[in-house]
Amino acid sequence: MSIIYQTIPSPAFVLEEALLRKNLELIAGVQRDAGVEIILALKGFSMWSVFPFVKKYLSGATASSLNEARLIFEEMGCKAHTYCVAYLPDEFEEIMRYSSHLVFNSVAQYERFRSAVSVHNTNSTDAPIACGIRCNPEYSEVETELYNPAAPGSRLGEVETAFKDGLPDGIEGLHFHTLCESTSYDLEKTLAAFEQRFGHLLPKVKWVNMGGGHLMTKQGYDTAHLVRILKKFKKKWGVAVILEPGSAIAWETGVLVSTVLDIHESRGIKTAITDISFTGHMPDTLEMPYRPRITGTSDPVPGKPTYRIGGVSCLAGDYMQEYLFDKELQVGDRLIFEDMMHYTMVKTTTFNGVRHPDICILRENGELEVVKRFGYEDYRDRLS
Ligand SMILES: Cc1ncc(COP(=O)(O)O)c(C=O)c1O
């Protein structure tokens, strides 16, 4: 759908419902063909106004904190698969109320909470909570250390030596997460490493959660291959398989709309200062770092209008190096940052008190719905 951005509020995250549906249909197809459960990882996408829509296609969602588990329970209407790097004792009772599965990051964490789970399961009329442990296969194709859970000394999951005495009683599942925007071929290699280190435990578990990072909605991803390897794994080990992608759900489903507020010039460098902030609204661009795509721009060539893009916070590094534009920019022009739905929205802050972008949905019938507008109270109530 072609969008007239000049008419959209700014700054604003705009999700296109039709693009989300396209992704969900593809993922639901993999879920059906491979006979696996695919759930949404809230850490990557927690725009809860579309949870009822997501739930039409996926089996549920995964949480990494009490807040996420509660959001799943209240807004998606189902219990969460919850994994926390460490559970907080004073939150654990409540987490159990919202969770169908609990994955522990270590054997010690499981030992600390197993009796609480057992009491809960005895007293609850719901299906018992299924417990699992996160494993570290010590193999990952991810090169950026910040995003590599299998880097040497990683605190995420147990390495094989933790299971020299086998699995603790009551553990029904194993979990690993080592992929990031990866292919099915990366998963295949990861499964080989996982089987090599943890294969002896697989006959004893009912399910394996293969984490996230399966970017099946990216153009060129070989979903037929993914289905084949998942079916093979299920058959070989007789286990249920769960995948919990975040990025794949919201991949290429929407943009961040911004407006040029000023053109600043210093020693021949022009900066288009906008109403967004890289550190406040797209922190990954500085952390990873990566260069976001801006519609209608390319890399600079001499003699053409080029601008740095400036954020509105006073952090000196809150800008992106030059982009090339077709024409000179004017105050009031819209700049559209592409593919900003996954991980961007969930990481925003109100640093400097900068205005948080509105959250909008472009409905399939062409209507634009502003589902959330942020104001002073949202800023004030984050602190006290
Ligand atoms: C344990 C776990 N599961 C799932 C995900 C979602 O991964 P992605 O959004 O790359 O699919 C992550 C991301 O960090 C994770 O840490």
Map 137-201 to HEC letters: CCCCCCCCHHHCCCCCCCCCCECHHHHCCCCCCCEEEEECCCCCCECHHHHHHHHHHHHHHHHHH
Q: Which of 307, 295, 235, 302 has the alpha carbon at shortest distance from 264?
A: 307
The residues near 360 (Cβ < 8 Å, ≥ 6 apart) are: 8, 9, 12, 13, 14, 15, 368, 369, 370, 371
Q: Is the Cβ atom of 81 under 6 angstroms away from ligand 1?
A: no
Angle between helices 223-237 and 17-34 (to 10 degrees): 40
Say whether pLDDT at 4 is over 80.
no
Task: Enter the DSSP assignment of 309.
Answer: E
Say whether pLDDT at 6 is over 80.
no
Task: Enter the DSSP assignment of 128.
Answer: P
User: 18 is written with which tokens?
Assistant: 């039709």
Say whether pLDDT at 273 is over 70.
yes
Q: Is the Cβ atom of 280 under 6 angstroms away from ligand 1?
A: no
**Nearest 10 degrees: CA dihedral of 284, 57, 221, 140?**
60
Q: Is the Cβ atom of 175 under 6 angstroms away from ligand 1?
A: no
pLDDT digits over 226-266, tens only?
A: 999 999 999 999 999 999 999 999 999 999 999 999 999 99
Q: Which residue has the tokens 């879920």?
A: 31
244 alpha carbon to ligand 1 midpoint, in Å? 7
Q: What are phi and psi of 282, to 5 degrees?
A: -140, 55
- pLDDT grade for 141, boundaries at 50, 70 and 90: confident
* Cα-Cα-Cα-Cα dihedral sign, residues 189, 241, 206, 110: positive
What is the rounded average pLDDT for all residues in the chain?
Answer: 96
CA separation for the pair 252, 338 (Å, rounded): 7
Predicted pLDDT of residue 5:
76
Predicted pLDDT of residue 206:
98
Write down all domains in the chain, each with its CATH number in brackets: 5-13+254-340+348-380 (2.40.37.10), 35-250 (3.20.20.10)
Pocket probe mutation, ligand 1, options 43, 136, 186, max atoms within 8 Å of Cβ: 43
Say whether pLDDT at 130 is over 90.
yes
Predicted pLDDT of residue 1:
57
Lowest mean pLDDT among 5-14, 106-115, 242-251: 5-14
Pocket probe mutation, ligand 1, options 244, 247, 288, max atoms within 8 Å of Cβ: 244
Q: Is the Cβ atom of 132 under 6 angstroms away from ligand 1?
A: no
Distance set, CA 375 to CA 1, 88, 122, 350, 356 (Å): 30, 31, 46, 11, 8
Mean pLDDT of 26-48: 98
User: 342 is written with which tokens?
Assistant: 């996954």
135 alpha carbon to ligand 1 midpoint, in Å? 14
42 alpha carbon to ligand 1 midpoint, in Å? 9
